[in-house]
Amino acid sequence: MLLYDVVDASARVGATRSRTTKTQVIAELLRTAPADEVELVTAYLSGVLPQRRTGVGWRGLAQLPDPAPAAALTVTAVDAVMRRLTETAGVGSTATRAALVRELFESATEPEQGFLRGLMTGEIRQGALDGVMLAAIAEAAEVPQASVRRAVMLAGFAGPVAAAALTGGQAALDQITLEVGRPLRPMLAGSAADVSAAVDTLPADVPFAVECKLDGIRVQAHKRGDQVRLFSRSLDDVTERLPEIVDAVAALPAESVVLDGEVIALRADGSPHPFQVTGARTASSKDPAELRRTTPVTPWFFDLLHVDGRDLIDAPAHERIAALVGLVPESMVVPRLETQDPAQAQEFFDHWVSEGHEGVVVKDLSVPYAAGRRGAGWVKVKPRHTLDLAVLAIEWGSGRRKGLLSNIHLGARDPETGGFVMLGKTFKGMTDEMLAWQTTRFTELATDLGDWVVTVRPEQVVEIAFDGVQRSSRYPGGMALRFARVLRYRDDKRAEEADTIDQVRALRDWT
């Protein structure tokens, strides 16, 4: 199949906002794709490059050669280039990859170049990623959406599922089950402002549990015999980086196991390190034996999806947890409280937050493991901080925010100098109305109307919510806000009344 056919479909998908129309366009393309190219077409149209790292990003694609006059590239040919890029990533020279990129883009027409660039930088914005793709696979293969969804959750990716569905139909989808050693999509949590709001999102009178939420790295652990594999939230294999977790899982008294949990670095006294410490440890590929000595990590499991030939994903949570507790030593199970009393749940939250943990997850004990879905019975609650900060500058938006001032630079007041210290940026929490308002407002306050950044007189105060204050090498105060988002603009406060850098220092996550 020609890449052109995929690009054309992508353009038509992007041209409509109707999801049913998007679905039809994609389904039609999948039906016409040759069997051996369905997997690639599915991946490309959902913005996924099966080769995850190519070593080429936005910079490597900033300057493209003249496009080809006519479409001749096939998706198989594109795949061949991507494979070669992956092979050279990290070992070959930049020049080798640049040559491969040049060769590929020379044989692509202009719209194909645009699509390929989006694919390689993860910016396919056509209003259809995985969700619409699932519906399209179901329609093209004439199977129920629920079957496709389940297969994708268990297989991890849509491409292989599309290939199976279109060649083997329902029977082929039924063959896709939980496989020990192959990662499935992790179940995700919704969020709520506080414990009582979290409980309120669950059906009335269901039994629920509250679990301590650890600020570390999500890990899915698979064990079969003496073989252990560990996967990240995005299904990357992280086994080699976490030998102490491998040892812990290998020692479990079961032949085959699939566990879900969090890995975190702890201090000698058992209190958690800030996320940055755990993140640095797990991101590093230096000698694992050395890292294990200097920054050991500990597993805390909260779910059991398979044990000794028995799949538990469809069992209610209380059953999975009972099996987990029966298998895994208590020291490796997330602290949890089963209760029907919101006051006790609140107390549990207060306790673990005071111990330095991130918050809690409230879980409906009656629900199965809804792989890959958010908010189906898991609700997280974290403490929230707020500050009134001054807007120092603002960046032009892109995509649907093109032409609007979008991303605001935030500063705390420094009483020593009378100036402001930048603590980060945010584009979150803004309604369309706020975007329109702030575009006008900051144009008025502008001292420098740049193409990228507009600098303003620091006169506008904004109320910001955030999760914490972390160490920063980027900002002058050495601190940055984690997950900052806008609550509201404060026209009742002048910049001279904004919160100070000392108030921010008091909230640091390190000492």
The helix (H) or strand (E) run that includes residue 217 is strand 217-224
Is residue 407 near DNA by the rule CB under 7 A? yes
State which of positions 24-83 bind DNA (CB under 7 A): 47, 52-61
Shortest spacing between CB 63 and DNA, in angstroms:
11
Q: Residue 196: name the closest of 21, 422, 349, 352 by CA.
A: 349
Please answer whether residues 29 and 45 qualify as being in contact, where contact means their C-beta atoms are separated by less than 8 angstroms: yes
C-alpha–C-alpha distance, residues 473 and 462, integer Å:
24
Mode of pairing for the β-strands spanning 310-311 and 297-307: antiparallel
Alpha carbon 174 to its chain centroid, in Å, reads 28
Q: Show the tokens assigned to 310.
A: 């028995």
Among 2, 8, 12, 21, binds DNA (CB under 7 A): 21
- The count of C-alpha atoms lying within 13 angstroms of the C-alpha of 471, restricted to the half-sphere facing its C-beta, is 10
Site for DNA in 375-394 (CB under 7 A): 375-376, 380, 382
C-beta of 48 vs 323, nearer to DNA: 48
Integer angstrom CA distances of residue 161 from 38, 180, 220? 10, 18, 21
Binding piece for DNA, criterion CB under 7 A, among 30-38, 67-75, 166-174, 231-239: 231-239
Binding to DNA (CB under 7 A) within 279-298 occurs at: 279-280, 282-286
The CB-of-382 to DNA minimum distance in angstroms stands at 6
Minimum CB separation of residue 322 from DNA in Å reads 25
Is 223 part of any known ligand binding site?
A: no
Is 142 annotated to bind a ligand? Reply is no
Of residues 85 through 124, those in contact with DNA by CB under 7 A are: 89-95, 120-121, 124
Q: Which is nearer to DNA, 38 or 128 (CB)?
A: 128
Known active-site residue 213 = yes
| Site residues (CB under 7 A) for DNA, limited to 131-170 | 131-134
Which residues is 19 bridged to in the sheet? none
Question: Min. distance of Cβ 285 from DNA in angstroms?
Answer: 5
Marked catalytic residue, from 213, 363, 382, 425: 213
Q: What is the DSSP string of 397-434?
A: B-GGGBTSEEEEEEEEEETTTTEEEEEEEE-TT--HHH
Are 462 and 491 spatial neighbours (Cβ–Cβ below 8 Å)? no
Identify which of residues 71 and 368 has a Cβ nearer to DNA in the complex.
Answer: 368
Question: Contact between 458 and DNA (CB under 7 A)?
Answer: no
Site membership for DNA, residue 342 (CB under 7 A): no
The residue count for binding DNA (CB under 7 A) is 92
Residue 28: CB atoms within 10 Å = 15
Rounded least distance, CB 169 to DNA, Å: 21
Cα–Cα distance for residue pair 390/247, rounded to 1 Å:
50
**Annotated binding-site residue numbers for ATP:** 211, 218, 233, 262, 302, 374, 380
Q: Which residues are catalytic?
A: 213
